[in-house]
Structure 1
Amino acid sequence: MPDWDLSQFQVPEEPGRSRFHDFALPLPLMHAIADLGFEHCTPIQSEVLPFSLADYDVTGQAQTGTGKTAAFLITILARQYEFPSQGANPPGSPRALILAPTRELAIQIEHDGHDLAKHLDSRVINVVGGMDMNRQRERLSQGVDILVATPGRLLDFMDRRVIDLRRVDVLVIDEADRMLDMGFIPDVRRIVYKTPHKRQRQTLFFSATFNEDVMRLASQWTLQPHHVAIRPENVAVDTVEQKFWLVAANEKSKVLHQLVVQKDVGRVMVFANRRDQTRNVHDYLRRKGVSCEMLSGEVPQRKRLTTLDRFKQGKVRVLVATDVAGRGIHVDDVSHVVNYDLPEDPEDYVHRIGRTGRAGATGISISFVSEDDAFNLPAIEQFIGYTVVCSQPEL
């Protein structure tokens, strides 16, 4: 491959926006950033990178879709390039550990890691539940620099002495509030205590919300961190055009079908509140000849991954999901998100619409408001900070 240099990746300066060029990143990392088409940093990247690249601990309040994954991966990869290991790491001894609450999020982080490490020697591996343990053990035996893991499977491997965390110099805890909600904190605490003391490692701690419990965890695991907050309404308002359509409960399926067959509607994610509703919507669209798949707890893990890949590759146009299955899914070029049901938790509203308008792109969210769920609207309005206007479907 011919030599690559920064002259092949020219990005003009823009007032008020940071470029990746501004951070003196290693050339092979800049090459990967150029390959990915990243030019200007997202707000969280602009705020986090000056501190994380200078080895400060960081606590960040940000939803998915803000570019935080790239912020912590760039930090880790730059550090590993500038301070290479003296000799090979023993098998199963990563230099960086990224903890995520769900398999889908961990797999997505690993995928992003491979993209950014494309021209570097850092080896990125994930260990998550629901996948073949022997295959994961085999991959670990070939060496790992950056380990992405869900807590349960990581503890399984640690108890079997397959993974040793004593060489970890960067610890990332992603979606800490979700870990708390899912009851993972005792497991996470056990894992953190097997890494070097917080004075001997860098810790990057991210959470969509910072309530008292989350702040207590952050203070235990980080050392005088720099705190960055990207408020949810920035994510919700700036890059996503939000529409609220008045649709009778018995008309939702028909209106959804009319929407997804329109010419200017590309890749669509549809969210429903319950598994059975997800199945019903999926089956209805399939009967109407729409290229459609579903993600919910009733779908086996292997099938979920295949479905996600087909959606990313554009082989499936519409993905119908529940909140738990949809959390942590990062797919570019989703043109529309449809809230078939208004979520009961306003935070889930922001997470849902964050599937479109990702990292600076624009997107459209359409929420169906019916007599069955209109009572969820005031909490959403309070959370995003303004009063919404409901209209008739624009079909």
Structure 2
Amino acid sequence: MLKALKKMFGKAEGEQADTLTAPATPRSQNARDEKPNRPAKPKDAGRAATDSAEAPDNAAAKPARGGKGNASKPRRERAAKPVDNWKLEDFVVAPAEGKTRFHDFDLDPRVMHAIHDLGFPYCTPIQAQVLGYTLKGQDAIGRAQTGTGKTAAFLVSIISQLLQTPPPKERYMGEPRALIIAPTRELVVQIANDAIGLTKYSGLNVMSFVGGMDFDKQLKQLESRFCDILVATPGRLLDFNQRGEVHLDMVEVMVLDEADRMLDMGFIPQVRQIIRQTPMKGERQTLLFSATFTEDVMNLAKQWTVNPAIVEIEPENVASDTVEQHVYAVASADKYKLLYNLITQNDWSRVMVFANRKDEVRRIEERLTRDGVSAVQMSGDVPQHKRIRALEGFREGKIRVMVATDVAGRGIHVEGISHVINFTLPEDPDDYVHRIGRTGRAGTSGTSISFAGEDDAFALPPIEALLGRKINCEMPPDALLKPVPRKH
């Protein structure tokens, strides 16, 4: 598959070694270095769309700047944390066979200090491979499962680029230098938190924009300081862009995370609008990550990248060996009784329940709460501030059960989830692997239990085909099907 992908991007098999090891081609004679010499601001109009594959013939000019007076405000950079006389010699990591250290890359000491604080001496496979290309300025397309460290891979690369190239002297508040687009609010929040941790000694400002949160509150942070790294969902980013509050003509690095999920959720038209506002693909570095390399994903990558390095990390197993998997054959009418009795009779304290539809998620959460089991729902219908509060309550152990759809559950990483229950089996086998991966993380053991009813049992054979083995289907014991006691 790797050969076919490289051929698609114009890399013949015989040319592979030279292409992958050569330094990246300079982008228009280092167009990024020319940015400080732009005409003095304010500008009368923005850059029209320029990528031939991305722009319509009559692309409209960027909206005029809003009347916020951002250009005239004094520069307020984020104060870098004191380094406490920290030196690279304080971060000692012995070379190890088969492992790549962060020391093996020429990273800025401020980045290394943050990595040291986070306790990551060795790179994960996706980090080791991606950084080898992106630190040279090359575009990259990466495929890896959730939890492999891809977020840190692109963040380390972004921060290194921004520290190497000083910002231009004339700059608007709402002009980010790096842009990360992710499909869900939870994933945006997680990426932004990781970015804050990795930039704490660099003085770079990180901002996140998501729908469902107060627009004016997000606008105030934009007006208070310059934005270096912006993490956003497509819809909310377009809101800011179309109001003239955010302008993307200074983006040096652009990241599209979970591109396959953005396709599934119908976000690609919005992403195209966003990309038209950024510099040409030869003048920006573009990194694209996806759990799968479908034909649609690769076609997008071909439009938006230049000579990308293609990095694929094959999992040792499709599903982790640390997750014990069970399937119960149960009538749809008995699924809730089975769920309630499993949780209460076993006194489980941190359980994640997946259902396919938002209305199912809502009903399950309401019934569990009514029956005395603390639960929260995580779906697109829940306002963002409630979702964040619910996630924190679940992380802290104050809430026993989180009920989620696949879209809302993607990007949620909570330590110590003991059980994952598939109330309904997903129609996409890849979603099954993603769901059960919420437990059994970092070498710990976990259990997944799936309910196969008359409405969704058809989804089991494709899941087994993906796993490469059968999952024993069993009847639940009678004790797990007893009626739910009524609360007086």
Q: Is 1:349–2:432 an aligned residue pair?
A: yes
Match of 2:284 in 1: 201
Match of 2:17 in 1: none
Match of 1:120 in 2: 202
* Farther-moved stretch of structure 1 (263-272 vs 79-88): 263-272
Q: SS where residue 97 of structure 1 aligns? A: strand
Counterparts in 2 of 1:115-154, with a 5 A limit?
115-141=197-223, 142-154=225-237
Counterparts in 2 of 1:62-211, with a 5 A limit?
62-87=144-169, 89-141=171-223, 142-211=225-294
Deviation, 1:332, is 3.3
With over 3 angstroms needed to count, the CA separation of the structure-2 counterparts of 1:230 and 1:12, relative to structure 1, is same
* Farther-moved stretch of structure 1 (240-249 vs 110-119): 240-249
CA distance in 2, matches of 1:116, 1:266: 32
Match of 2:3 in 1: none
The TM-score with structure 2 as length reference comes to 0.73
CA distance in 2, matches of 1:125, 1:237: 34
* Farther-moved stretch of structure 1 (197-206 vs 374-383): 374-383
Question: Unaligned 5+ residue runs, structure 1?
Answer: none
Q: SS where residue 337 of structure 1 aligns? A: strand
Decide which of 54, 77, 97 is 1:15's aligned counterpart.
97
Decide which of 215, 220, 232 is 2:298's aligned counterpart.
215
Among all aligned residue pairs of Structure 1 and Structure 2, give the percentage whose two residues are the same amino acid. Answer: 52
Question: Unaligned 5+ residue runs, structure 2?
Answer: 1-81, 481-488
Q: Which has the larger radius of gyration?
A: 2
Match of 1:60 in 2: 142
Match of 1:297 in 2: 380
Deviation, 1:251, is 5.0
With over 3 angstroms needed to count, the CA separation of the structure-2 counterparts of 1:163 and 1:112, relative to structure 1, is same
Q: Is 1:47–2:129 an aligned residue pair?
A: yes
* Farther-moved stretch of structure 1 (218-227 vs 178-187): 178-187
Q: SS where residue 198 of structure 1 aligns? A: coil
CA distance in 2, matches of 1:19, 1:267: 34
Q: Is 1:378–2:461 an aligned residue pair?
A: yes
Deviation, 1:90, is 2.0
Counterparts in 2 of 1:22-41, with a 5 A limit?
22-41=104-123
Match of 1:331 in 2: 414
RMSD: 2.6
The one-letter code sitting in structure 2 at the alignment partner of 1:326 is G
CA distance in 2, matches of 1:393, 1:9: 53
CA distance in 2, matches of 1:166, 1:235: 42
* Farther-moved stretch of structure 1 (103-112 vs 140-149): 103-112
CA contact (8 A) 1:295 1:320 kept: yes
Q: Number of paired residues?
A: 393
CA distance in 2, matches of 1:179, 1:298: 18
With over 3 angstroms needed to count, the CA separation of the structure-2 counterparts of 1:218 and 1:323, relative to structure 1, is same
Report Cα offsets for 1:85-104 as digits up to 9, x if no partner.
24374211111011112222
The one-letter code sitting in structure 1 at the alignment partner of 2:107 is L
Q: SS where residue 227 of structure 1 aligns? A: strand
CA distance in 2, matches of 1:215, 1:149: 22
Deviation, 1:319, is 1.1
Q: SS where residue 418 of structure 2 aligns? A: strand
